[in-house]
Amino acid sequence: MSKEFYSSSEFEASSGLDLDAQIELLAEKFCSARRIAFLTGAGISTDSGIPDFRSSTGIYQTTSEELFSIDYFLANPGDFYRVFAVFYRGIVDAKPNSGHLAIAELERRCGKAVDVVTQNIDALHSVAGSTNVAEIHGTIRTASCLSCEKKYAQDYFDSDMRSGRVPHCACGGVLKPDVTFFGEQLPEQAFVQARRAMWDARLLVVAGTSLQVYPAAGLPRECDAGAPFVVINKTPTPLDSQASLVFHAPIGEVLPKAVSLISPKS
């Protein structure tokens, strides 16, 4: 099997295999790739109890997207934080699941660089132990002052956000969670890191995202044309037809098994 390039005929051949055989193929790809990148979305965190914002049971079914627009936040921080408290508690109290842990374990077992680019704001990849994480929609674990831009860690604002109070900077300014609101630019540094991860990847695994939201959905196109990619998502994605392996199966079923097949690097 070629390490560097997988044709669509390989996909057609592998798609006829049963799940365990496809998981073995994935483990082989992990071993042979010089550098691995993951692009993850809400689907990897649903097993941690964090709802997908856009799915049929997601947050946007019961809450207007306007709540997460920067204009609404700036005009109504008090109203925002009263509603936000329930989301905040649900996200910061969540624990990494077997999918997050498998990616962190892969990095330890392979002893090679594993870049994680995530659309999620829950920081669960870092909590699980992944070391190269680009959070392209920001993180709920820090917040910054709208007046002086000072950044605060979670301990500082945790009790205010939990109870729906507006957190304030030492300077008196209002703190805003460091997540990307509608109407805001993505964090530049994280996006540069994400593109670099795509360029460097010799294997890309797209997990738990149906790649509907740009610019994140465009990131796989930054990869080298010869780098194979794998899709693990409950529902079909626009990339499925070009992927060398496609799993429409739970991440928690595929990734831990694939990683367990890799011998730990001594």
Name the DSSP class of 21: H
What minimum distance in Å lies between the beta carbon of 145 and Zn ion? Answer: 3
Residue 19 engages Zn ion in binding (rule: CB under 5 A) = no
Handedness of CA 29, 34, 40, 45 (dihedral sign): positive
Residue 158: which of 66, 48, 71, 81 has the closest Cα? 81
Per rule CB under 5 A, is residue 147 in the interface with Zn ion? Answer: yes
Work out how close the CB of 176 gets to Zn ion at its nearest, in angstroms, rounded to a whole number: 11
Q: Which is nearer to Zn ion, 86 or 148 (CB)?
A: 148
Name the minimum Å distance from CB 173 to Zn ion: 4
Which residue's CB is nearer to Zn ion, number 54 or number 150? 150
Among the listed residues 163, 57, 40, 152, the one whose alpha carbon sits nearest the alpha carbon of residue 106? 40
Q: Minimum Å distance from CB 152 to Zn ion?
A: 9
- State in angstroms the smallest separation of the CB of 157 from Zn ion: 12
One residue of 13, 21, 148, 153 binding Zn ion per CB under 5 A: 148
Distance CA 83, CA 64 (A): 11
Instruction: Pick the closer one to Zn ion by CB: 22 or 142.
Output: 142
Of 170 and 192, the one with the shorter C-beta distance to Zn ion is 170
Catalytic: 125? no
**Of 100, 125, 137, 168, which residue is the catalytic one?**
137
# chain residues binding Zn ion, by CB under 5 A: 7
**Do 20 and 236 form a contact (C-beta atoms < 8 A)?**
no
Backbone phi, psi, residue 80, to 5°: -55, -55
**Residue 77 contacts residue 97 (beta carbons within 8 Å):** no
User: Where in 52-111 is the site for Zn ion (CB under 5 A)?
Assistant: none
Q: Which of residues 204-263 bind Zn ion (CB under 5 A)?
A: none
Write the DSSP symbol of residue 129: T
Is residue 145 within the footprint of Zn ion (CB under 5 A)? yes
Nearest Cα to Cα of residue 251 among 137, 124, 133, 135:
124
Which CB sits closer to Zn ion, 78 or 226? Answer: 78
Binding mask 161-180 for Zn ion (x = CB under 5 A): --------x-x-x-------
| Full DSSP string of 228-263 | -EEEE-SS--TTGGG-SEEE-S-HHHHHHHHHHTSP
Catalytic residues, by residue number, are 137
Binding residues (CB under 5 A) for Zn ion: these are 145, 147-148, 150, 169, 171, 173
